[in-house]
Amino acid sequence: MTKTWLITGTSSGLGRIMTEKLLARGDRVVATLRKHAALDDLKAEYGDALSIATLDVTDTPAIHRVVTDAFNISGRIDTVVSNAGYGLFGAAEEASSDQIRTQIDTNLIGSIELIRAALPHLRAQGGGRILQVSSEGGQIAYPNFSLYHATKWGIEGFVESVSQEVAPFGIAFTLVEPGPAQTEFGGGLVAPVPMAVYDNTPAGDVRRAFAGGAFEIKGDPIKMVDAIIASADQAAAPKRLTLGAGAYASIRKALTERLAELEMQEDIAISADSDA
């Protein structure tokens, strides 16, 4: 059965690959991006199966307008994919206030507003699915990515809550948590001017590792997109979809350590309750 998808951030990376694959299998896609011409080749090949809208997700009124237009034009959208985002790469003290605001406006507020814009339309049509592209960085954290992690941990908390609010309306969520992948993400990192005081710290270590190519990036974006599409085709949506062996190992380690630390504090936690 042909499905209709709304996908943000489709000019490159996972969003572009997903758009290509969905069109190739016969689905319809409403694709948003900041540079309209980036999908001209797909528009020429697939015609009316692809609708393109220019959208900067830091523009909240534009989000609501584009989403409304997408549902009006399509009649029904089965799956909304919130994919637009980028990384701010630097120690928290190094980032400017403007850089911090733009990171939060794009990754967190932009994603929240996209979801909020889609909800009334999904309710009206009797349900649907929202895929929120997060990251392994929504469950773990590395030095030098503090502001990026703030947005990913933030959107995961938002989805955890809103998914419970709208489940009675047949709206299901999946948080997609890919590890490092062979995409243009690294090239799109925004890096503040580094401070020498951080050279001999974990932040400096990560900075040098990136500059020297020491990080092995094994994630295959094509396989990741295949897994994302397959999860959306399932009758029951997984709450989280972890992608990549490194992401699986890192998240498992972090959760195991967190649970062990929590269990060590059981007596302290219980003792803080009122005796009344």
Catalytic residues: 134, 148, 152
Locate tokens 């523009």: which residue? 59
Buried b (16+ CB within 10 A) or exposed e, 99-130: bbebbbbbbbbbbbbbbebbbebbeebeebbb
**85 vs 133: CA distance, rounded Å:** 9
Locate tokens 């649970």: which residue? 259
> What is the helix (H) or strand (E) element at residue 54, kind and residue range?
strand 50-54
Query: 95: helix, coil or strand?
Result: coil
Instruction: Report which DSSP code applies to 109.
Output: I
Sheet holding 128-133, edge to edge: 50-54, 28-33, 4-7, 79-82, 128-133, 171-178, 240-243
Query: Both tokens of residue 29?
Result: 């896609």
Q: Decide: 195 and 91 in contact? Cβ < 8 Å.
A: yes
Quick one: 239 exposed, middle or buried, by C-beta within 10 A (0-12, 13-18, 19+)?
exposed
Q: Decide: 77 and 6 in contact? Cβ < 8 Å.
A: yes
Query: Both tokens of residue 120?
Result: 């009334």
H-state helical runs in the chain? 13-24, 40-46, 60-74, 97-103, 110-124, 146-166, 202-211, 221-233, 245-264, 266-271
